[in-house]
Amino acid sequence: MIRLEKVERIFQVGDQQVTALNKVDLSIEAGEYISIMGPSGSGKSTLLNMLGLLDQPTGGRYLLDGKDVTSLTDDEQAYTRQQKIGFVFQFFHLIPRLTAEANIELPMILAGIPEQERKERTQNVLKAIGLENRADHRPDQLSGGQLQRIAIARATIMQPKVLLADEPTGNLDQHSGKEIIQLLEELNSKGLTLIIVTHDINIGKRAHRHIQLVDGKISADESGAL
């Protein structure tokens, strides 16, 4: 489903060049559960942003569902994100003035889904994450774990093929972190491709495939239990 061929990302900082991704080759099949680990600055977030079409490679090719997506226009990339990709961030990134319900609804509004269907889907997903009685709460009235669950609901409401999570538990206590991972794994078990960037070895271990990044290069890529 995903193929990276010699993908390179070089940042120009002043007159210095920082290579965040160094000719990365990677293949990911639908339904996989992958963790990406590595030291700080090794390029994990950059790789994830690349996969999510938020960032453009400076070299190489990225094929999503067999299609070269690096040559797409801005709008086509936006549409691809909308339809195929879900993001979960360390800092949740919920819109503070909107209720939980409205935050979850937002991707569907942008996609032009009719109101009736939006409401139904939102109700269902709120039930699924156990927050149906928090629908009208604004982010400042919710706990970190609840916020992340809402963020996951928002990321999956458009039924994407792949969910990209950049340190989804990085801002949570152990208990709610575990709940979040369980929620994500549940989604993966239903066929969603799950890619998690994490510093937590215990979380990383749970994935079915483990990718280790060092200095912008994949230093290890192992499947199965560690």
Partner 1 sequence: MNIKDIILFTVHAVTSNRVRTLLMLVAMSIGVGSVIILTSLGEGARHYVIDEFSALGTNLIIVLPGRTETAGNQAGMLFGKTPRDLTVYDAGAIHRSPYVKQIAPISVGSASISYKQRSREGPVIGSSASLLTIRHWEMSQGKFLPPMDYDRTSPVCVIGAETKHELFGNENPLGKWLRIGDRRFRVIGLIASEGRSVGVDVEKLVIIPVASAMAIFNNPSLFRIMVESKNRDMVPSAIKDVERIIRERHQGKDDVTLITQDAVLGTFDKIFTALTFTVAGIGAISLFVAGILIMNVMLVTVSQRTAEIGLLKAIGASKQQITILFMGEAALLSLIGALAGIAFGILVTQTAEIFLPKMTLVAPWWALVAAMVTAITTGILFGILPAQRAARLDPVTALSRR
| Residues lying near partner 1 in the complex (CB under 8 A) | 45, 49, 52, 54-55, 74-75, 78-79, 81-83, 87, 89, 91, 93, 95, 97-98, 102, 106-107, 109-112, 154-155, 158
**Among Mg ion, partner 1, ligand ATP, none, what does residue 43 contact (CB within 5–8 Å per kind)?**
ligand ATP
CB of 190 to ligand ATP, least distance (A): 28
Q: Does 13 bind ligand ATP (CB under 6 A)?
A: yes
How far is residue 56's CA from residue 141's CA, in Å, rounded to a whole number?
A: 36
Q: Does 41 bind ligand ATP (CB under 6 A)?
A: yes
Cβ neighbors of 33 (< 8 A, separation 6 or more) are 185, 188, 193, 194, 207, 208, 209
How far is residue 35's CA from residue 44's CA, in Å, rounded to a whole number?
A: 10
CB of 194 to Mg ion, least distance (A): 17
Q: Which helix (H) or strand (E) covers residue 222, if one does?
A: strand 217-223
CB of 57 to ligand ATP, least distance (A): 13
Q: How many residues bind ligand ATP (CB under 6 A)?
A: 12
- CB nearer to partner 1: pick between 155 and 206: 155
Q: Do residues 101 and 122 lie in contact, with contact meaning Cβ atoms separated by under 8 Å?
A: yes
Residue with tokens 């990406």: 36
How far is residue 173's CA from residue 16's CA, in Å, rounded to a whole number?
A: 38
Q: Does 225 bind ligand ATP (CB under 6 A)?
A: no
DSSP H stretches of helix in 9-71: 44-51
Which residues would be at the binding site for ligand ATP (CB under 6 A)?
11, 13, 18, 20, 38, 40-46
